[in-house]
A = this chain, B = another copy of it.
């Protein structure tokens, strides 16, 4: 390989991205070399801007540009229903279905003793304090339908039920062992519609 040093550096950085192997990295690098400077600059700026402006919502821990994310700050959303998810990408997946008008709570992961992650490492305490003010009527547990997700859901259900809040789980219909992020809109929408009491 006789790539110039700066092309090699770009290839190295591109190959770190998820789903980008050596061939795709090369395709993207040559595309960028071919593109006009403004286009390349816009991508670089978008990367820098997103890191500078995006933080976590103080309420639900979704990504946000202000103290609160756009969903928590929206008065037309149903603030009495909280959908608990593992990661911000799951918020995106559920929003895409258009079936949910409540608000979210992002745990930042799942309970996984193998990886040394217990409830203390997740935003569980903050969820409980959101539930302490009596306004919340229902919590939908939308963790992934796999072992860790189910464990986390069972744990949370046990914590929340004594507070007299309805606890529901996404309906089965999601392929077990799969990943919520990759479910298609219809399946995920139906799963929200047919959520079952726990």
- Copies per complex? 2
> Do B54 and A6 have beta carbons less than 8 Å apart?
yes
Chain B residues with CB under 8 Å of A30's CB are: 87-89
> Do A29 and B50 have beta carbons less than 8 Å apart?
yes
Residue from the list B4, B13, B23, B24 in contact with A69, Cβ < 8 A: B4
Give 21 CB contacts A-B under 8 Å.
A1-B92, A2-B69, A2-B91, A3-B63, A3-B92, A4-B70, A6-B49, A6-B65, A7-B50, A7-B63, A12-B46, A13-B43, A17-B28, A18-B31, A19-B24, A30-B89, A32-B51, A33-B51, A37-B51, A41-B47, A41-B51
**A interface residue numbers (CB < 8 A to B):** 1-7, 9-10, 12-14, 16-20, 23-24, 26-33, 37, 39-51, 53-54, 63-65, 69-71, 87-89, 91-92, 95-96, 182
